[in-house]
Amino acid sequence: MKTAEVVIVTGVSGAGKSQAIKCLEDLGFFCIDNLPTTLIPTFVRLCTQSEHAIERVGLVVDVREGEFLTPLFDILKMLRTEGHTVTIVFLDAYDEVLVRRFSESRRPHPLAAGKSALVGITAERQMLARLRDDADLIIDTSALTIHDLKRFLSQAFVKERLTAKIGLSLVSFGYKHGLPFDADIVFDTRFLPSPHFIDDLRPLTGLDSQIGEFLMRTSVTKPYLERLVDLLDFVVPLCEEEGRAYLTIALGCTGGHHRSVFFVEQLAGHFRETGYQINIRHRDIEKV
């Protein structure tokens, strides 16, 4: 029996599922939005048994399914048992971002029932909690443009990913702006001297060579970087062996402008040299 690559796009309302499914269409997936979950096995079977077999399928599943969400986990388990590759992509964003998006679009939240969008968002998070826990890839779209999202999904689901190494997403962030909730692994760089307190360096970012030169003059920077590389060289292949398609590694400093950005760029260079697909996101580099 022929098998298919099935990508389930899910997540909270307003996080960008419609844009994500359009991106998958551009990548060659046959996509359907809001197919009842009970019909998923039949649909996948028809795709693989058709005269011109459809090998890549993208499906949007969300709270519009209502009670049909309940059997979804058994259905996905059955698909995997039949040999299909199933990946759950969960799109999320901060509450304040979602509220603003609903306000700007003037559309009601599907669970708000005449109440505020925040009430609907809270209820939706509870309904989707298990699906988020089971997700293979969580994407925080709070600060992503449509082009960023497309680039992110392209790196995760290009054809070559079927045989390539695990995809790595490296994120720099500022602790004062909160942890990135899509991170699988988080490292802290706040113990390093901060360029923020040097007038000539404050306006710069970790992308500027002066910041790297300043940090590398500190005795602890090089040993810390070397130990990070050694640890990740050990951990990443283990995640790959587990069957994960993507791993998000976040590095934080106070504001997300200098130290964390520099370390992300250093790690990106190392893993590119060893053949990994890298997605870089400097989440807070433009924030005050």
Summarize the confidence of residues 45-60 as an average pLDDT.
88
pLDDT at 155: 78
CATH code 3.40.50.300 for 5-163:
yes
pLDDT tens sequence across 63-120: 776 666 778 999 999 999 999 999 999 999 999 999 999 888 888 888 877 788 899 8
Helices and strands counted in the chain (H then E): 10, 9
Nearest to 182 by CA among 91, 280, 263: 91
Question: Which structure tokens are listed for 100?
Answer: 């603003």
Domains of the chain, by residue range, sit at 5-163, 168-282
The pTM assigned to this predicted structure is 0.72
Tokens of residue 142, six digits: 């709070």
Q: In this structure, what is the dihedral angle of CA atoms 49, 52, 57, 61, given to the nearest 10 degrees? A: -60
| 38-51 pLDDT tens trace | 899 999 999 988 77
Name the nearest CA neighbour of 274 among 225, 238, 229, 213.
Answer: 229
Whether residue 161 contacts residue 85, with contact meaning beta carbons closer than 8 Å, is answered with: no
Question: What distance in Å separates the CA atoms of residue 129 and residue 122, rounded to the nearest whole number?
Answer: 11
Backbone angles phi, psi at 31, to 5 degrees: -115, 145
Q: Across all residues in the chain, what is the average pLDDT? A: 90
